[in-house]
Amino acid sequence: MTIQFVQNIFVEEYDPTVADSYRKLVGLDGGPVVLNILDTAGEEEHSPLWESWLKQGQGFLLAYSITSRPSFDALAVLQQAFLHINDTDSMSSVSAVLCATKADQADSREVSREEGEQLAQEWGCPFFETSALSRINVEEAFTTLAKRVYKDTQVPHACK
């Protein structure tokens, strides 16, 4: 999904190392913003850098495959790590977007759209069903996340 967003191509076999990083310039309401994207491709819990990523990241696109119940269930572990590492009791304090990938493979679905929507509602974040192959909601998901991060990191101007 990240490669589709950054390079506008679909990669059938994606085999990341510990994490791959990308940059993309996007236009937001406040002007152009450079996104620095770290794609952990689901390997985060195996990395000694995992805690650092969760603590220092400004925004998180959390993804699972609609064709894999275990990938959806693994989000509970990720949620607990976010809460513990960031010393918070609510995912709503995290700038995040939840993405269900492989929307083009609905005939192999193991996780319903409603389950994804419900989890996103519990976490207080937007939800997208996406497909890197068909380029469904890829741009929208990343742009929505960028807007959330931008909004959450702005310092309010003092009144004069």
Question: How do the domains of the chain map onto residue ranges?
Answer: 42-150
Q: Cα–Cα distance between 100 and 131 in angstroms, integer?
A: 8
The angle at the Cα of 108, spanning 113 to 67, to the nearest 5 degrees, equals: 65
Coil, helix or strand at residue 22:
strand
Residue where the block lists tokens 């791959």 = 20
**Residue 130: how many other CB atoms lie within 10 Å:** 27
Out of 3.10.250.10, 3.40.50.1220, 3.40.50.2000, 3.40.50.300, which CATH number does the structure's domain 42-150 have? 3.40.50.300
pTM for the model: 0.85
Residue type, 96: A
Among 10-14, 73-77, 129-133, 139-143, whose mean pLDDT is lowest?
A: 10-14
pLDDT, one tens digit per residue, over 75-132 is: 998 888 888 887 777 777 788 999 999 999 999 999 999 999 999 999 999 999 999 9
Q: Cα–Cα distance between 123 and 131 in angstroms, integer?
A: 22
Q: Cα–Cα distance between 100 and 61 in angstroms, integer?
A: 10
Token pair for 152: 């959450």
In sequence order, which residues have a C-beta less than 8 Å from that of residue 23 and are 6 or more positions away?
A: 6, 34, 35, 36, 37
Q: Cα–Cα distance between 61 and 98 in angstroms, integer?
A: 6
Q: Cα–Cα distance between 83 and 51 in angstroms, integer?
A: 11
pLDDT, one tens digit per residue, over 22-59 is: 888 888 887 788 888 887 766 555 567 767 777 778 88
pLDDT of residue 36: 83
